[in-house]
Amino acid sequence: MTLSPEWIGLLLWGLGLLMGGGAAMIYGRRGLAEARNRNELARTQYEARISDYESRIQQLDRQLAGYEAELRSLRERLDEARDAVNDKSLELAGAQSRVNDLDRQLTRLQAEHEEKQAAFETLKQSFEQSKEQLKTEFQNLANKVLEEKGRLFTQSSTSSLDAMLKPFREQISAFQQRINQVHDESVKGNASLGTEIKQVLEVGLRMSAEANNLTLALKGDKKTTGTWGEIQLEKTLELAGLVKGDHYEAQPRFKDGEGQSRQPDFVIKLPDDKHMVIDSKVSLVDYDRALSAETEAEQGAALQAHVKAVKQHIDDLSRKDYTNLIGMRSPSFVLMFMPIESAYIEALKNNRDLFNYGYQRNVVMVSHTTLMPILKTVANLWMVARSSAQAQELSDRAGEIYNQVAVVAENLKKLGDTLGTVSNHYNRTVTALAGRQGLYGKVNRFNELSAKANKTLPSIEPHHGDYQVERLSLLAAEPDSTPDPEK
């Protein structure tokens, strides 16, 4: 078959078209592969960039978290610093309040002392006047009685008056000595009170410094630290003016409800047979670690351990239940003494609920600074109780002297009555002998009749002793109108 030129051209055009399409297809597939490779490379690069960005974002997040933690730490430290300033302000206000209370108490005690001194001086002058007046009256009375009643009656009257006046003079002398003694004790007590108040803070600072200096020496030995704490506590008791045996006992033995023996470190005696228990507790190991810590984290951990150790002491002391021991008449709480002032402050500063934690368990935390005002109050209570006892003793002695005066007055009254009776008998006898109808008139005739009657009858006159007897009766009646000193 012969193809026409048109068909040949058409076939050639179709063949060229097919060849061009195949070539185009081959070229397109190659470009598509290259595009895919470029896209894959770009995607890989983008993923690498995204991973890098994510790493950077995570790093920035970590840095941001660190900055936020540091910011929170700085804020917490700022809050702690503010709390510490507030606590110090409260402590300063409390100390100032205690000083003001002590000043008011000193003023009140000085006023009471002045009143007692004035009362003592008045009582002293009254007894001096009474003594001198009675002495003068008794001497005058004795002299007149002795002169007027003769030698025999003089001898017996002198011995009787001396016997009556001797106990009275002894009572007056003893009472005067007791007044002077009470006055001197009161003056010394009030003079030393002001000095002791001024020394409280100085002593507290000195003992705290000594405690800090001994920390390293005592660290690690519980028995040694316990003994040292008890020694510091007893020094505090002595500095407050308390006397061992009279005002406190060291490690006295008591029995609990189960019959087990218990020994508190110290039991303070209060007036009216009351007690107050004080136990010394020393925490050094963790506190010393906090002082020697090189980082804040180490210091914080050590201080938290220190607080935990103090809580353990509180729990141990609470379980001992000292206030309910047999024979113990104590309030429902025990004082826990911490001799190292700085350890006491750091424990409270790092746990502001620590004081309430102890109080809820009937344990009150104290240091030297906070314990000293309590002990000073106890010493003042004993001083007031002693003054009251001395005032009662003076009242009793005044009552005894009054009763002795009454006895002397009764004897004087009896003596006056006896003198009156003797005077009446004497006058009646004189009248019967030398009166108008007496024996003198009847026997005078015998002198004229008898040669042996060579003596002369003496002149005998009646004795007018009514005035002296009346003075004795009035003097004896004076104590009856004297008010009872006890009333």
Q: Kindly state the tokens that stand for 300.
A: 């914080």
Q: What is the 3-class SS of 46-78, one letter each residue?
A: HHHHHHHHHHHHHHHHHHHHHHHHHHHHHHHHH
> Do 121 and 186 touch, CB atoms closer than 8 A?
no
Tens digits of residue pLDDT in 64-108: 888 778 878 877 887 787 787 777 777 777 777 777 777 787 788
One pLDDT digit (tens) per residue for the chain, 487 residues? 555 667 777 777 777 777 777 777 776 677 777 777 887 888 888 788 888 888 888 888 888 888 778 878 877 887 787 787 777 777 777 777 777 777 787 788 778 777 777 766 766 666 566 556 555 654 555 455 555 555 554 455 455 555 555 565 565 566 556 656 655 665 555 555 555 555 555 555 555 555 555 554 455 566 777 888 888 889 988 888 888 888 898 889 888 888 888 889 899 988 888 888 999 888 778 888 888 888 888 989 989 999 999 999 999 999 988 888 888 888 888 999 998 888 899 999 999 999 999 999 999 999 988 888 888 888 888 888 888 777 777 777 777 777 777 777 777 677 767 776 777 767 777 676 666 666 656 666 566 655 666 666 676 676 665 545 555 555 555 544 444 544 4
Which residues make Cβ contacts (< 8 Å) with residue 474, sequence separation at least 6? none
Tens digits of residue pLDDT in 105-160: 778 877 877 777 776 676 666 656 655 655 565 455 545 555 555 555 445 545 55
Kindly indicate whether the domain formed by 220-366 is annotated with CATH number 2.40.50. no
Amino acid at 469: V
Tens digits of residue pLDDT in 422-447: 777 677 776 766 666 666 566 665 66
pTM of the model: 0.46
**Closest to 267 in 3D by CA, of 280, 283, 281, 282:** 280
User: CA-CA distance, 361 to 381, in Å (whole number)?
Assistant: 27
Residue 485, beta-bridge partner list: none
User: CA-CA distance, 287 to 32, in Å (whole number)?
Assistant: 77
Q: Kindly state the tokens that stand for 456.
A: 């002369």
User: CA-CA distance, 221 to 228, in Å (whole number)?
Assistant: 11
Instruction: Evaluate the CA torsion angle 60, 61, 62, 68 in order and state its sign.
Output: positive
Q: What is the 3-class SS of the chain, one letter each residue?
A: CCCCHHHHHHHHHHHHHHHHHHHHHHHHHHHHHHHHHHHHHHHHHHHHHHHHHHHHHHHHHHHHHHHHHHHHHHHHHHHHHHHHHHHHHHHHHHHHHHHHHHHHHHHHHHHHHHHHHHHHHHHHHHHHHHHHHHHHHHHHHHHHHHHHHHHHHHHHHHHHHHHHHHHHHHHHHHHHHHHHHHHHHHHHHHHHHHHHHHHHHHHHHHHHHHHHHCHHHHCCCHHHHHHHHHHHHHHHHHHCCCCECCCEEECCCEECCCCCEECCCEEEEEHHHEEEEEEECCCCHHHHHHHHCCCHHHHHHHHHHHHHHHHHHHHHHHHHCHHHCECCCCCCCEEEECCCHHHHHHHHHHCCCHHHHHHCCCEEEECHHHHHHHHHHHHHHHHHHHHHHHHHHHHHHHHHHHHHHHHHHHHHHHHHHHHHHHHHHHHHHHHHHHCCCCHHHHHHHHHHHCCCCCCCCCCCCCCCCHHHHHHHHHHHHHHHHCCCCCC
Which residues make Cβ contacts (< 8 Å) with residue 82, sequence separation at least 6? none
